[in-house]
Structure 1
Amino acid sequence: MQSIPLQKQVDYYSQVHETLRQQIEASSLEKHLSKSIFIVVIGGNDVFGYFDSKDLQNKNTPQQYADSMASTLKLQLQRLYNNGAKKFEIAGVGPIGCCPAYRLKNKTECASAANDLSAKYNEALQYMLKEWKLEKKDINYSYFDTYAALQDLIHNPTSYGFVNVKGACCGLGELNAQIPCLPVSSICSNRQDHVFWDAFHPTEAASRIFVDEIFKGPSKFISPINMEQLLAI
């Protein structure tokens, strides 16, 4: 299944915004949108794409690629801002190298190169957001450190009720990650004790923990404010 690129998603939003402008008084629409939270969770596929493409690797160092990801995202956030968005919940990417698909390629251990690129992007993203906030005083954002939050689950699984942090719950083969999650796949007996659902994505149990952290904190995972505080602005 093909993902819809962020630029196209923002295109769709812009079309809806134009339609709403024709139906709702401008001041009412802008007030409503200024109170709305725009949630942006993106970047993981770009990291995968870098390591899947020799061409990208030849043309960009990891740092150049991370910087270009952040600058490209800023362009799309600016388009949302130009169409009324003022509040943003933005998630960084997790330690991509620790997903089952990459562990499979690295003798079950996390792939450091993928994790390094993830960390570089998150750093570039946070710098971009801080700079953007200085440019646009009327925006507010909350940044979720997906990398640190997922690493916390991986390094301290028992405190969260997890048993398996390396393999996928749904799939086939070694780490249940050699063949994707399909109707013929093997499914773990207890999906609550796995961090990863398939070769790439976290389980519902892990995602519930992330949602709680996004909404209420703690500050080591969410900054400069959490979503509860963002809602109150």
Structure 2
Amino acid sequence: MQCIKHTQTGAVWIQRAIYNLGTSISDTGNSAVDNPSTWQAKFPYGETIHEATGRPSDGLLIIDYIAKSADLPLVVPYKNLSAAHLSACHGVNFAYSGATALSKEALAKKNITLELTNPSLDVQLGWLDDYFDGFCHNVKENCTKALSSSLFMMNFGTNDYGSAFRQNHSMEEIKKNNLVSDVVEAMKQALKKIISRGARKVLVFGVALDGCRPISLAMQSANKSATYDRFGCVRDNNDFCKYHNEVLQEGLKELREQHPDVQIVYGDLYNAMQSVFDNFKSLGFKSLTKACCDVESREKAKAIQYKDKLCGAHGTIVCPKPEEYVYWDNAHWTQKANQLAAGQLDHSRHLPQAREQLLQLIMSSSTTAMHAAMSFLNFVLLALLQLKYQNKEISPFEAHGTIMLLYILTSIIYSTALIALLLRAHQLPEIPCLATLEHISLLSGALACALLLLILAPPFGYFLLAFCGVLVLVKALLGSYQQIVGQLLDVAAISERPRDLILKVFHRSGRQEARDQAHAMASVCFQKYWIRHLLQIIC
């Protein structure tokens, strides 16, 4: 596996990664690989990103924005690994549209029949096992330790309940036959298995506003007793989602008690989307419960959603501005809604430690230690400077005016970057990428220390300045090469053809060094601007 760096002491895992199990809200192409004729594998799906990638949206999904927020490439679908193994270094997505938490047989015992039989949670776990059996075979050190820096995500439940609703099972009946508790138990057992594999950072999503989905509204149109909220959403459906989420959170609480060494975070999709609805006008939305690809009647809704005739089928109408709609088709969100929901996940007001936990899922402990060491070193050097000039008639500013002004400037940059890094936990989409902020703060902190050393111990100060300069120069020389390959790999994350081209070019060249560099690029936090490349060397 190309994600392994071989050293004198053996193979060492050097990548952070995202592994995901779930349903259509995070399916980045698995179902499209199995069924290229499915509607989400064709236009107008993907029209906002100018390519139909198999995502059930006009563009990117929440999982894509989570990957971007962690400065990782878009997560590769498991079914596409043979053509996209480079990005697999950064994780694998096992999610599949229409997937259920319970197996077909388990649902049948509750008199629930699946109209479409797609890989359920246990099947996706089998894929994960197969993948990690190969991965762990290549890791000489402990596999559990090797996976501890990765983020594991899961989302299930919507399709289990949707199948029951479509077959006229009432919500009270669903509660009585323990469908919710069984779904949550299946998720808990899957999480235990993932944790046994080495997962130490887990993000589990609840279900969102089912009563606002166009498909749900269409199916409730004949129900005269249905009540609606101020947004036109079916209250009973949304109340049921709340019930599932409450049971799920209780289950996650039990898991935290059983595994105190594992960060288990609840992804509050319900309140994330509720926030989008509450602020829809200021966010630029004009339609909340109507699909960009229009669905009107219950009969049409059932045909489009459950007989493989989604957006693009005869009789559907595509809106001219998807960014004004929350829903792309009758069940899935637009790219804009996905992006906003991903941002809202970072500041849930309903789980006290959610912000801190989510931030910890992304930030490495080593970087935090470096920030602490940098701040402490600056403090010590300032104290020594104060002692040096304590009994002198002139101040450091009078003796070294230019250096002190530069120090103040770099200190301001350092402090600003640190503050922005903390604010990022609250404003995910608006604050620049995590890696860039880390690089800016660490580089400015190092320069601040070097400037103080120029006054206290000039040889050390010049050495540190020269060292920083060499690092930046080396990075600058490599920047153009990394930028070109990085952008190609970024494009390849949603299209296998560019990646195939990259592989062919490097493997035909016959240069082992070039091939190694190409694979190593997958571990770099590629950004669009050259200055970000210069700063990444500090990471």
> Which segment drifts farther, 219-228 or 155-164?
219-228
Task: Name the structure, 1 or 2, with higher relative contact order (CA <8 Å, separation 6+).
Answer: 1
Partner of 2:213: 99
Counterpart code for 1:142: V
- Out of 136, 161, 184, which is 1:70 matched to? 184
Aligned runs of 1:12-161 on 2, under 5 Å?
12-27=127-142, 29-54=143-168, 60-61=174-175, 64-107=178-221, 109-161=232-284
| 1:5 and 2:120 aligned | yes
Q: Is the Cα–Cα contact under 8 Å of residues 292 and 329 in structure 2 kept in the other structure? A: yes
Gaps of 5+ in 1: none
Deviation per CA, 1:180-203: give whole Å up to 9, x if none.
Answer: 312442111110010011111111
Deviation per CA, 1:199-220: give whole Å up to 9, x if none.
Answer: 1111110000112223xx2132
> Cα offset for 1:97?
1.4
> Cα offset for 1:91?
1.1
Partner of 2:443: none
Deviation per CA, 1:116-162: give whole Å up to 9, x if none.
Answer: 22111100111111111001111102212111121222233102211
Q: 1:116, 1:63 → 2: CA distance?
A: 18
Q: 1:40, 1:228 → 2: CA distance?
A: 18
The change in CA–CA distance for 1:222 and 1:198 in structure 2 (over 3 A counts) is farther
> Cα offset for 1:225?
2.8
> Cα offset for 1:80?
0.8
Name the SS for the 1:124 alignment partner.
helix
Q: 1:12, 1:158 → 2: CA distance?
A: 42
The change in CA–CA distance for 1:222 and 1:209 in structure 2 (over 3 A counts) is farther
Q: 1:88, 1:33 → 2: CA distance?
A: 12
Q: Is the Cα–Cα contact under 8 Å of residues 162 and 194 in structure 1 kept in the other structure? A: yes
Deviation per CA, 1:55-97: give whole Å up to 9, x if none.
Answer: 7979642683222211111011111111111211111100111
Q: 1:64, 1:127 → 2: CA distance?
A: 15
The change in CA–CA distance for 1:196 and 1:60 in structure 2 (over 3 A counts) is closer
Q: 1:9, 1:57 → 2: CA distance?
A: 27
Q: 2:169, 2:287 → 1: CA distance?
A: 35
Q: 2:238, 2:172 → 1: CA distance?
A: 19
Partner of 1:164: 287
Q: Is the Cα–Cα contact under 8 Å of residues 92 and 122 in structure 1 kept in the other structure? A: yes
Q: Percent identity of the aligned residues?
A: 24
The change in CA–CA distance for 1:57 and 1:160 in structure 2 (over 3 A counts) is closer
Partner of 1:224: 353
> Which entry has the higher C-alpha Rg, 1 or 2?
2
Which has the larger share of strand? 1
Q: Is the Cα–Cα contact under 8 Å of residues 144 and 223 in structure 1 kept in the other structure? A: no
The change in CA–CA distance for 1:204 and 1:50 in structure 2 (over 3 A counts) is same
Q: Is the Cα–Cα contact under 8 Å of residues 214 and 295 in structure 2 kept in the other structure? A: no
Q: 2:243, 2:150 → 1: CA distance?
A: 29
- Out of 172, 182, 186, which is 2:312 matched to? 182
> Cα offset for 1:229?
2.3
Counterpart code for 2:235: S
Q: 2:290, 2:244 → 1: CA distance?
A: 25
Q: 1:89, 1:112 → 2: CA distance?
A: 27
The change in CA–CA distance for 1:205 and 1:221 in structure 2 (over 3 A counts) is farther
Q: How well do the aligned residues superpose, as a CA RMSD in angstroms?
A: 2.6
Q: 2:289, 2:265 → 1: CA distance?
A: 29
Q: 1:38, 1:147 → 2: CA distance?
A: 20
The change in CA–CA distance for 1:106 and 1:172 in structure 2 (over 3 A counts) is closer
Deviation per CA, 1:93-122: give whole Å up to 9, x if none.
Answer: 001111011112334842233222211110
Counterpart code for 1:97: G
Counterpart code for 1:19: G
Normalising by structure 1, we get a TM-score of 0.87
Q: 1:89, 1:223 → 2: CA distance?
A: 15
> Which segment drifts farther, 71-80 or 180-189?
180-189
Q: 1:140, 1:113 → 2: CA distance?
A: 32
Q: Is the Cα–Cα contact under 8 Å of residues 142 and 223 in structure 1 kept in the other structure? A: no
Deviation per CA, 1:14-40: give whole Å up to 9, x if none.
Answer: 12222222221142x322311100111
Q: Is the Cα–Cα contact under 8 Å of residues 44 and 93 in structure 1 kept in the other structure? A: yes
- Out of 208, 211, 218, which is 2:339 matched to? 208
Q: 1:8, 1:220 → 2: CA distance?
A: 34
> Cα offset for 1:7?
1.1
